Amino acid sequence: MPSIVALMPKNMKNCTYVEPFVGGGAVLFYLQPKNAIINDFNSELINVYEVVKNNLNELIIDLKQHKNESDYFYNIRQLDRTSEFEKLGKIQRASRIIYLNKTCFNGLYRVNNAGEFNSPFGRYKNPNIVNEPVLKAVSYYLNSNNIELLNGDYEDVLKNVSDNSFVYLDPPYHPISESSNFTGYVQGGWNMFDQARLREACDDLTNRGIKFLLSNSASGFIKDQYRNYNITTVKATRTINSDADKRGEIDELLIRNYE
């Protein structure tokens, strides 16, 4: 976080902060900009933000019903494999995803090729399923600022941003090695063509005079894609990796189109 923030443009006060791959929103919630557009392709995730913003009390009541038990977990997990899923309301859907995130193995959001959640039960003693202070703080932030929530492909978001925007991009990372190719946040994951499409969208931002900062893995392919940009290598800690030895400090790139 300190490396990312240090490389952001100075004087961002009056601009709109745009985060097209918002995920858990680590950078958004650190900065807490007054004007922001946030987006993610994952509709379950954006539904969580919408419900936290608009239906906080009902969400907290629903979350309190969940149990940290294996059979119960798999019952909730398998809902997206049945026709029951379409009948769930937005509050129940948001509650399900928060519950699965808090009780699954390593908090890993993972879906199979059919888009069905498939992380196993985490067997934690006391997971914080209902984190009321954080939910309330996020709800307050989303309601007391001008934050637009979008659910689509990043390219559509970037096409429509105004000149007075700053864009932070944290896409699915390009794998450094064959064994680390987990990019399954959304059905299909990302390949080299997806990374190249993003680089073209970054070229377009540059042509329009819009500043961006992008995070990605320190792979040769990414260094080559962005060879015309300012690239800084930083150390990052990774807590989610199937291989325990690879959790820890690794190199990552921060790429920007300004000094």
Q: Which residues bind ligand SAM (CB under 6 A)?
A: 20-21, 23-26, 39-42, 153-154, 170-172, 185-186
- Minimum Å gap between C-beta 155 and ligand SAM is 7
Question: Which residues partner with 233 through β-bridges?
Answer: 253
CA–CA separation, 27 and 21 (whole Å): 11
CB of 171 or CB of 175, closer to ligand SAM: 171
- Minimum Å gap between C-beta 220 and ligand SAM is 20
CB of 20 or CB of 175, closer to ligand SAM: 20
Where does residue 131 rank: exposed (0-12), middle (13-18), buried (19+ CB within 10 A)? Answer: middle
Helix and strand totals (H; E) in the chain: 11, 7
CB of 65 or CB of 113, closer to ligand SAM: 113
- Tokens describing residue 224: 């080559």
CB of 24 or CB of 127, closer to ligand SAM: 24
- Minimum Å gap between C-beta 193 and ligand SAM is 12
Residue closest to 78 by CA, chosen among 126, 114, 127: 114
Which residue sits closest to ligand SAM, CB atoms considered? 23
Question: What single-letter amino acid sits at 1?
Answer: M
CA–CA separation, 45 and 242 (whole Å): 22
- Tokens describing residue 8: 């952001």
User: Kind of pairing, strands 165-169 and 16-19?
Assistant: parallel
Residue closest to 158 by CA, chosen among 230, 219, 224, 211: 211
CA–CA separation, 25 and 31 (whole Å): 10
Question: Which residues partner with 217 through β-bridges?
Answer: 252
- Minimum Å gap between C-beta 27 and ligand SAM is 6
- Minimum Å gap between C-beta 57 and ligand SAM is 25
- Minimum Å gap between C-beta 189 and ligand SAM is 8
CB of 65 or CB of 174, closer to ligand SAM: 174
CB of 89 or CB of 188, closer to ligand SAM: 188
- Minimum Å gap between C-beta 247 and ligand SAM is 16
Whether residue 59 contacts residue 89, with contact meaning beta carbons closer than 8 Å, is answered with no
Question: Which residues partner with 250 through β-bridges?
Answer: 236
CB of 65 or CB of 112, closer to ligand SAM: 112
